[in-house]
Amino acid sequence: MIASVEPTKLPGVAIIKPTTFADERGHFKELYNKSQFALAGIDVHFVQDNFSHSHRGVLRGLHFQVLKPQGKLVTCLQGTVLDVALDINPASSTYREWIGVELSDQNHHQLWIPPGYAHGFLVLSEFAAFHYKCTEFYDPSDEAGVHWADDSIGIDWPNKSPKLSSKDAQLPSLSDYWISQH
């Protein structure tokens, strides 16, 4: 069951707060229920689930697919992350705007990011177990990204020297990405 769906300043991006049942044994929550999400206005078809395990200070992102954009329902199953969605659509009224939401095993929040946004997260805890539910299959030939520290975007990451993959370290600024596409 969904306790609440909170819209953000980015069109379509929402914080999902599932109902969590806790007692002395631990807790239980429903991560996804198609009919509940449809009632909340998120009526999509998921085709792939992904999982990552990352250590403190790891930043993954900011990623997106170009021709086959993915919507993502993301959940931090263990630990804490700062999860970021970035509007990369030049025709959007919120182009270059971003939101950062703390997702953790303590607050139980999820983030719905519809297709057309870049996504990334920074691990704030010792490690994080992270689940992605995607609306499109991953296609490595279609992937792209934006550099995490693009000054024109100004994401306020709490770690100024995160651990990155070599691929993420070489991602272009958002402006350079669009210049390379034309």
Q: What is the pLDDT of residues 104-129, one digit of tens each?
A: 999 999 999 999 999 999 999 999 99
Please indicate whether residue 132 is annotated as part of the active site. Answer: yes
Look at the domain 2-180 and name its fold: Jelly Rolls (2.60.120)
- Percent helix / strand / coil, the chain, rounded to 5: 10, 45, 45
Distance between CA 51 and CA 100 in Å, rounded?
Answer: 20
- Residue 29, beta-bridge partner list: 20
Amino acid at 157: W
Given a cut of 50, the residues of the chain with pLDDT beneath it are none
**CB contact set of 101 (below 8 Å; sequence gap of 6+):** 8, 15, 82, 83, 84, 109, 111
Residues 86 and 156 sit within 8 Å (Cβ to Cβ) = no
Of the residues 108, 109, 131, 132, only one is catalytic, namely: 132
Residues 103 and 83 sit within 8 Å (Cβ to Cβ) = yes
Q: Which helix (H) or strand (E) holds 180?
A: helix 174-180
**CB contact set of 98 (below 8 Å; sequence gap of 6+):** 10, 84, 85, 86, 87, 153, 155
Residues 66 and 136 sit within 8 Å (Cβ to Cβ) = no
First to last CA, the chain: 45
Of the residues 63, 108, 131, 147, only one is catalytic, namely: 63
